[in-house]
């Protein structure tokens, strides 16, 4: 019996208890949950449903708990239910009911941990969104790892997720990039506020090679060609780097298309209909202070030039008109001020800023090697690029290390730690357990020990077997919570706890017979099921983080 199945049973028992007393069942929630008690002596799981519902239905919580407990004890797979304190339910499962989880996991396979928690939610998840004026750097890389993991987790919770990269390819920075590439092609110094770095030289050489005679053409023509060709080359490099990192975007959305296709003008019309656009001092404004922004925002300057904010408004409205109910923006630490203004855009557009838009902020990342900060890139000058990080540590170590910590705090990665094959390296710790499990399965097959089609679940009664089973049962709830709170690091930390539970199981319970004449028993067979079920959950969990689960290390 999984925690989810037990929660359904608890809810059914509460419904029956309330119905038996001719009371109103409308107070019942659509779903409930059960928790693992801090003290294992209190049982396998606990529920506070009687405390939640007692006053609502006009019953003393402890009396309601007694009625719920009576109904629960009649449920197959539940050994006992005790009432504690003012109305807590402490539930113990029958041994066989706990052990059945191993079979359930293996039958579910890749689907175990997935749910319909966010079914029918259509989500636009925008992350990275780097300017195409340089390589993907370390700051972008954290959001690449976390954003892709979040997309996987939201999908696992049943949401319809579109992963989107907003290409900031309009405005002054693009002109400066084109001028920098042209200057590099002519062996001239980088223009003021331009882009230095070896990568600009590489782009310039590529453009010249692809366009013979370009350096002899009129300056205006050169500027246009170096900008357009340099932009394409840089965008392709960004896309290749992210794909190498295992990050795939469903949509690459160009800011230029907002201006070229009239989306900005359309957005202004939509905002005017809502009554929040006004004119002052020859400029067009959006009254965002009506919805908590610290100041009203200019949409069109007095000289007729549209602002970045106008493009932001058009982009949000475009997303909503594409049918996305929830728009999640994942932005860097330097964009904290965007939270209020983006939510104000949603409110000015007539939406609910608490539901239709979310803005997540990620803090900075730094690298250490040999105890010293890694400061400069050989290629990008002042930046450390994604490709350089991958060359140093590999995809798995980079993704796992970036995703395992809350984005609320700055993160320092020690290259020496995340590349060594020791248990103090979290990604190695988890992957090694998965590989060890595979090794045991191979050894069993080599010795002719078959897991077969069935096992006796009631044989899994050792304390460490039960602890491991309970940890496996927690996985769907961890995934659902990670999706709800937008916190992929919960999956990584869960996997580390699961790896610890497996080590304790392995140290105390022989999965295979010892060397010698010991026979292969039904207990060994049941443990093989548990062994393989653990491997399946590790595979599923690492996949949610975009990390591989090697069968040998």
Token digits of residue 156: 């696992």
The per-residue pLDDT for 467 is 92
Which residues in 25-36 are b (16+ Cβ under 10 Å) and which e?
A: eeebeeebbbeb
The per-residue pLDDT for 343 is 95
* CA torsion angle 252 258 262 266 (round to 10): 100
The per-residue pLDDT for 379 is 60
Nearest CA-CA partner of 234 in 207, 261, 262, 194: 207
**DSSP 8-state assignment for residue 294:** S
Q: Which residues contact 131 (CB under 8 A, 6 or more apart)?
A: 168, 169, 173, 174
Q: CA–CA separation, 32 vs 47, rounded Å? A: 9
Residue 328 backbone dihedrals phi, psi, to 5 degrees: -105, 125
* CA torsion angle 10 12 18 21 (round to 10): -120
Nearest CA-CA partner of 255 in 203, 324, 307, 199: 307
What is the Cα Rg of the chain in Å? Answer: 29
The per-residue pLDDT for 58 is 87
pLDDT in tens, 176-216: 999 999 999 999 999 998 998 889 999 999 999 999 999 99
3-class DSSP state of 293: coil
Query: What is the enclosing helix (H) or strand (E) of 284?
Result: strand 283-286
For helices 426-446 and 395-403, angle between their N-to-C axes, nearest 10 degrees:
120
Contact criterion met (CB below 8 Å) for 200 and 181: yes
pLDDT in tens, 438-490: 999 999 999 888 888 899 999 999 999 999 999 999 999 999 999 999 999 99
Low pLDDT (below 50) residues in the chain: none
Nearest CA-CA partner of 310 in 334, 294, 288: 288
pTM of the model as a whole: 0.90
149 alpha carbon, distance to own chain's centre: 3
Q: CA–CA separation, 299 vs 286, rounded Å? A: 7
Residue with tokens 């319909």: 116
**DSSP 8-state assignment for residue 218:** -
Q: CA–CA separation, 392 vs 375, rounded Å? A: 14
Residue 278 backbone dihedrals phi, psi, to 5 degrees: -145, 165
């Amino acid at each position: 019996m999984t925690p989810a199945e037990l929660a359904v049973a608890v809810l059914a028992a509460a419904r029956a208890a309330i119905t038996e007393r001719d009371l109103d069942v409308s107070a019942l929630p659509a779903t409930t949950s059960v928790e693992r008690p801090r003290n294992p002596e209190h049982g396998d799981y606990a529920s506070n449903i009687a405390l939640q519902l007692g006053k609502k239905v006009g019953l003393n919580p402890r009396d309601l708990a007694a009625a719920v407990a009576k109904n629960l004890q009649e449920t197959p797979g539940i050994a006992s239910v005790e009432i504690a304190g003012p109305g807590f339910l402490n539930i113990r499962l029958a041994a066989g009911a706990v052990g059945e989880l191993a079979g359930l996991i293996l039958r579910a396979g890749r689907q175990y941990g997935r749910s319909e928690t966010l079914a029918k939610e259509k989500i636009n998840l925008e992350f990275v969104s780097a300017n195409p004026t340089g390589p993907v750097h370390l700051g972008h890389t954290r959001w690449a790892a976390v954003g892709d993991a979040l997309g996987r987790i939201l999908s696992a919770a049943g949401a319809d997720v579109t992963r989107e990269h907003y290409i900031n390819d309009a405005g002054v920075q693009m002109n400066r990039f084109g001028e920098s590439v042209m200057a590099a092609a002519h062996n001239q110094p980088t223009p003021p506020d331009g882009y230095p770095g070896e990568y600009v030289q590489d782009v310039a050489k590529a453009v010249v090679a692809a366009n013979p005679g370009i350096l002899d053409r009129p300056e205006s023509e050169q500027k246009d060609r170096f900008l357009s060709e340099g932009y394409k080359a840089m965008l392709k490099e960004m896309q290749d780097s992210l794909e190498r990192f295992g990050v795939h975007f469903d949509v690459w959305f160009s800011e230029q298309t907002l201006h070229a296709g009239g989306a900005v003008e359309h957005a202004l019309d939509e905002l005017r209909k809502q009554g929040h656009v006004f004119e002052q001092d020859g400029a067009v404004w959006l009254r965002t202070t009506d919805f908590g922004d610290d100041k009203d925002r200019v949409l069109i300057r007095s000289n007729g030039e549209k602002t970045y904010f106008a493009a932001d408004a058009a982009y949000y409205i475009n997303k909503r008109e594409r049918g996305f109910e929830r728009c999640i923006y994942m932005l860097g630490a330097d964009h904290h001020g965007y939270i209020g203004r983006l939510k104000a855009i949603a409110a000015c557009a007539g939406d609910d800023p608490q539901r239709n838009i979310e803005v997540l902020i990620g803090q900075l990342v730094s690298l250490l090697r040999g105890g010293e900060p890694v400061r400069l890139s050989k290629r990008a000058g002042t930046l450390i690029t994604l490709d350089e990080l991958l060359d140093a540590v590999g995809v798995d170590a980079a993704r796992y290390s970036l995703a395992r910590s809350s984005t609320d705090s700055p993160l320092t990665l020690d290259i020496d730690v995340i590349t060594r094959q020791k248990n103090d390296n979290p990604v190695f710790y988890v992957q090694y357990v998965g590989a060890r499990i595979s090794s045991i399965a191979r050894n069993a097959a080599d010795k002719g020990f078959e897991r077969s089609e069935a096992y006796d679940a009631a044989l899994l009664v050792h304390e460490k077997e039960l602890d491991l089973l309970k940890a496996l049962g927690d996985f769907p709830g961890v995934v659902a919570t990670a999706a709800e709170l937008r916190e992929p690091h919960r999956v990584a930390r869960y996997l580390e706890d699961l790896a610890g539970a497996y080590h304790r199981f392995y140290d105390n319970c022989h999965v295979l017979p010892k060397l010698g004449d010991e026979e292969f028993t039904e207990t060994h067979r049941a443990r093989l099921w548990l062994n393989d079920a653990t491997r399946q959950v590790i595979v599923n969990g690492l996949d949610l983080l975009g990390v591989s689960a090697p069968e040998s290390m």
